[in-house]
Structure 1
Amino acid sequence: MVNHRRPALRRVLTGAAIGLVLAVTGPAGLAQAGTGAASTATGTAAAKARAVCPPTTLWANTGGGARNLIQYDTTGNTLSTAPLVRDYGDIAFSPNGSTLYGVDFPGTAGSTTLYAINPVTGGETASAPITGPLAAVTSVPAVNGLTSRADGTLIAGSFNTSQIFLIDPTTGVSTLFPVSFPAGVVSAGDFITLDDGDILAFGAASSTSPSPVFRIRPDNTIIQIGTVPQTFGAAKSAGSVYAFASNGDINLLNSLPTTASTAVLPVTTVEATGRGFYGATSTQDAGTCVTPAYTIAKTAKPGRAVDEGDTITYKVTVKNTGTTAASGNFTDDLSDVLDDAALVPGSVTSTTGSATVADETLTWTGTLAPGATATVTYKVKVNAPDTGDRRLVNAAAPTAPGGTCATSRACTVTIKVNKTEDCDEPGHGKPGHHHGDKPNHGRDDDYGHEDEDSMRK
């Protein structure tokens, strides 16, 4: 059989094709399959069309000299990057998105391992040896296709055999899947549960040829539907499938025929990354509709009105409100603040992730675990005299999929700069008299935000 090793890609890579796997998580350790054991059938019920999910992010792992876990949006923008411990032949999320799995590549016969990976840090949190027929594949198991099914079991493929396998993520026990690739074809890197219930499988007939693409029906029949550029991983978002090619391209498959064909499938390259992909996944590969979700909320202190020379402290809180790791990226437009104030040097801080200011825009990037929060703070000092419009208005805006404002007004802060003539109390301008000397006199010392209409009242 042909040795389907990865070709050189700007550097020598010994990796395997990408795979996507999702499995249901248990209370601790590796995920627990929903059935408790690996099923040996794909199911004989007729395929049922699934509702199209909202967009989700795409995750990929690279290997060789640059081992990273990279999160992309569906236009190819990089949302986050974390270093990885080792080469993984493929990665896969559990069906609810709470656990990310990886399989060491190429592995050693009898000692291949399934790992749980922290998608925020890239570190390994648990491991289990894989046993059964997959572990016995010679000369090395070379798992390069991994994806979860809705019941929590994992589908896995190898470039050293045409057989396809199931893995129970709780025990690591593998069994034979009832379907194999045709003779002479091995796994190239992934399996995706389509919205119509079929499983999309990427194969390899040689180490350099395009990847044949197959549909596996619920009745355990398999047909080839076309070919795509050599693919080492795939991920699904909102019903669309993205193939991660051996040359580093992220390709959107424009067509997924339902009838047999060996024709070239049309693709659109959404990003030519040049990276050495080893695998890919998303939280929707198992046919589930898990999507990232996070909120942002912005406050300031003082929160409504200030005097010339005052310092304002802004705070933006980002919270992951979903069940899967998510980027909480946002921008904060400071252009209408900096015409009345100056950013205090060294005042930009973040509890996690990275916050920078450039061209009058603050940008925060970071990935958060479910329920986790990040707090970004910065300070500005109001000019004295203030020659601007005397209104500091700024709004934070989410820039990653699933981001929203915590409330309709949570992302915007408007602050007025008091004028001297605004105060008509006796004694104004005398030593010791200041707008802040009396409670609520033109000031609000609590964190707060309000829209411009309320400021005019």
Structure 2
Amino acid sequence: MAYDSRPTLRRVLTGAAIGLVLAVTGSGGLAQAHAGTAAVSAGVAASKARAVCPPAPLWANTGGNDQRLIQYDTTGTTLSSAPLVRDYGDIAFSPNGSTLYGVDFPGSAGSVTLYTIDPVTGAETSSRPISGPLAAITPTPAVNGLTARADGMLIAGSFGTSQIFLIDPATGVSTLFPVSFPAGVVSAGDFITLDDGDVLAFGAPDTTSPSPVFRIRPDNTIIQIGTVPQTFGAAKSAGSVYAFASNGDINLLTSLPTTASTAPLPVTTVEATGRGFYGASSVQDSGNCVVPAYTVAKSASPAGPVNEGNTITYRLTVTNTGAVVANGDFTDDLSDVLDDATLVPGSLTSTTGSATLTGNTLNWTGTLAPGGTATVTYKVRVNSPDTGDRRLVNYAAPTAPGGSCASARTCTVTIEVKKKKGHKDCDRPGHGHGEGHGRGEGHGRGEGHGRGEDEGRGDGPGHGGRPDHGHDSAVG
């Protein structure tokens, strides 16, 4: 969440919620209160290493006067952006990546809601009231941390208490998580299941200080491992954790120690966006190795051969074949098409996403829901006369993670241009163009008898060897 961007709310939370937290947890915090619950998990296996996943996009939600759902790659480049209808304290993908959840911020006591959000459009698709201890926090629940566990339950935090919660997304019922933040620390914005099985948790001692970072072990012990610039959301990609700071920076955490420390953790800022982040997520936050998948297919009509002056319509189809939202980005190299043809002005269209031609390269970018499809079409007119190589060849290449061609041949199209009528195809020796068609001097024709320029020009003798019986010039 980005409470620093909302002065009125900050005063309420600082004056009431933090005071409440300090009063409730001042005698050792809720972690000790749940020591008995932690014992239930005493038999949980130690952290187990997971395979490193391929890169996945990072998603963030902004709020205040700029309510948007933004998708970034791991370099901080914006992949998509959609408007949101409200401030969400955080967002979280389900373990299989098929559902995006959001929690309203700040929420009023006794009334807080879990929403599902369309990641392509940003629209709310459903809502469910949250009940239980999370909804009972006063003066506001102020849910600002949300992440799915591998079992489908949602881990949630609040700026109004040190306690951590679980939410059943099927019912909206919240329960107490067996671990809480230490006394005086509340949730800053997120939880991430690391590849070693620990849960990374970001806290907040107040509204301005750096965020303390904790590891929650599978045996429900918690230790602080350092601090990072004040963080309101986090997302994991390919085993790395990216923290979305209150000042709009996207920071890569370059080290996640396993021993206790309060020292600053090393971070690398991959992008300074200047945006007001309220939360962040990725399809890999639950610890599952979820990856997108999409295919690209290409066709042309007519398929050829074509005549000079003909118009060819190209069609490219990109389809999300996976279970998670995907970027179906691809390029189409037209350099070996535009040497024989010219793009028909205004013919480049796309049913969704953005299609642009830069130089000889067509670029398409767009976000597709599972099963979603986008179609890109454009037309070219074969030059007349065609002074190119009389072959139109182009290849579409997927450029985002998870992309592939629909089959081995569906990304490439090759179209031949016919030669004009009456234009002989004389590629054999002695039947070439120009001088190779010349008639030799003498009684007979030089066609088919001579090889090379000498006989083709008619300089040499004919069959009889008498120069006075031959033609004076070559006939091309």
Same fold by TM-score, threshold 0.5 exceeded?
yes
What are the ranges of 5 or more consecutive residues in structure 2 without an aligned counterpart?
Answer: 14-36, 426-476
TM-score (norm 2): 0.80
Runs of 4+ displaced beyond 4 Å: 11-16, 39-43, 421-425
Hey, what does 1:310 align to over in structure 2? 310
Matches within 5 A, 1:36-51: 44-51=44-51
Q: Aligned-pair distance for 1:421? A: 6.7
Q: Aligned-pair distance for 1:242? A: 0.8
Q: Aligned-pair distance for 1:193? A: 0.6
In structure 2, the CA distance between the partners of 1:329 and 1:292, relative to structure 1 (3 Å rule), is same
**Deviation digits for residues 381-416 of structure 1, max 9, x if unmatched?**
111112223222222222222112222332222222
The separation in 1 between residues aligned to 2:273 and 2:391, in whole angstroms, is 43
In structure 2, the CA distance between the partners of 1:93 and 1:5, relative to structure 1 (3 Å rule), is closer
- Check conservation: 1:98, 1:323, Cα contact below 8 A: yes
**Which deviates more, 327-336 or 192-201?**
327-336
> Does residue 356 of structure 2 align to residue 359 of structure 1?
no
> Does residue 411 of structure 2 align to residue 387 of structure 1?
no
Hey, what does 1:148 align to over in structure 2? 148
Q: Which amino acid aligns with 1:6?
A: Y
User: What secondary structure does 1:7 align onto?
Assistant: helix
Q: Which amino acid aligns with 1:106?
A: P
Matches within 5 A, 1:68-79: 68-79=68-79
- Check conservation: 2:2, 2:63, Cα contact below 8 A: no
Q: Aligned-pair distance for 1:422? A: 8.3
Hey, what does 2:440 align to over in structure 1? none
Matches within 5 A, 1:253-264: 253-264=253-264
Matches within 5 A, 1:390-401: 390-401=390-401
Question: Paired residue for 1:7, among 4, 16, 25?
Answer: 4
Matches within 5 A, 1:32-111: 44-111=44-111
Hey, what does 1:181 align to over in structure 2? 181
Task: Return the index of the structure with the highest Cα Rg.
Answer: 2
- Check conservation: 2:2, 2:277, Cα contact below 8 A: no
Hey, what does 1:120 align to over in structure 2? 120
Hey, what does 1:195 align to over in structure 2? 195
The separation in 2 between residues aligned to 1:384 and 1:55, in whole angstroms, is 47
User: What secondary structure does 1:306 align onto?
Assistant: coil
Q: Aligned-pair distance for 1:194? A: 0.7
User: What secondary structure does 2:4 align onto?
Assistant: coil
**Which deviates more, 263-272 or 128-137?**
263-272
Q: Which amino acid aligns with 2:144?
A: N
In structure 2, the CA distance between the partners of 1:393 and 1:127, relative to structure 1 (3 Å rule), is same
The separation in 1 between residues aligned to 2:219 and 2:86, in whole angstroms, is 37
Provide the aligned length of Structure 1 versus Structure 2. Answer: 398
Matches within 5 A, 1:125-136: 125-136=125-136
In structure 2, the CA distance between the partners of 1:13 and 1:48, relative to structure 1 (3 Å rule), is farther
| Structure having the larger proportion of residues in helix | 2
- Check conservation: 2:2, 2:246, Cα contact below 8 A: no
Hey, what does 1:287 align to over in structure 2? 287
In structure 2, the CA distance between the partners of 1:198 and 1:422, relative to structure 1 (3 Å rule), is farther
Hey, what does 1:215 align to over in structure 2? 215
The separation in 1 between residues aligned to 2:235 and 2:419, in whole angstroms, is 57
- Check conservation: 1:162, 1:180, Cα contact below 8 A: yes
Hey, what does 1:30 align to over in structure 2? none
The separation in 1 between residues aligned to 2:111 and 2:287, in whole angstroms, is 30
- Check conservation: 2:332, 2:397, Cα contact below 8 A: yes
Q: Which amino acid aligns with 1:225?
A: I
The separation in 2 between residues aligned to 1:277 and 1:14, in whole angstroms, is 16
Q: Which amino acid aligns with 1:141?
A: P
**Deviation digits for residues 223-277 of structure 1, max 9, x if unmatched?**
0001111111111111111111111111111111000011111111111111111
What are the ranges of 5 or more consecutive residues in structure 1 without an aligned counterpart?
Answer: 17-38, 426-457
User: What secondary structure does 1:420 align onto?
Assistant: coil
Hey, what does 2:337 align to over in structure 1? 337
The separation in 2 between residues aligned to 1:87 and 1:295, in whole angstroms, is 34
User: What secondary structure does 1:401 align onto?
Assistant: coil
- Check conservation: 1:6, 1:13, Cα contact below 8 A: no
- Check conservation: 1:295, 1:318, Cα contact below 8 A: yes
Hey, what does 1:436 align to over in structure 2? none
The separation in 1 between residues aligned to 2:233 and 2:192, in whole angstroms, is 10
Q: Aligned-pair distance for 1:423? A: 5.7
Q: Which amino acid aligns with 1:158?
A: S
Q: Aligned-pair distance for 1:133? A: 0.7
In structure 2, the CA distance between the partners of 1:278 and 1:171, relative to structure 1 (3 Å rule), is same
**Which deviates more, 144-153 or 351-360?**
351-360
Q: Which amino acid aligns with 1:219?
A: D
The separation in 2 between residues aligned to 1:232 and 1:423, in whole angstroms, is 72
The separation in 1 between residues aligned to 2:8 and 2:296, in whole angstroms, is 40
Q: Which amino acid aligns with 1:78?
A: T
User: What secondary structure does 2:346 align onto?
Assistant: coil
The separation in 2 between residues aligned to 1:166 and 1:281, in whole angstroms, is 17
In structure 2, the CA distance between the partners of 1:13 and 1:56, relative to structure 1 (3 Å rule), is farther
- Check conservation: 1:73, 1:401, Cα contact below 8 A: no
Q: Aligned-pair distance for 1:14? A: 6.0
Hey, what does 1:169 align to over in structure 2? 169
The separation in 1 between residues aligned to 2:72 and 2:394, in whole angstroms, is 27
Q: Which amino acid aligns with 1:205?
A: P
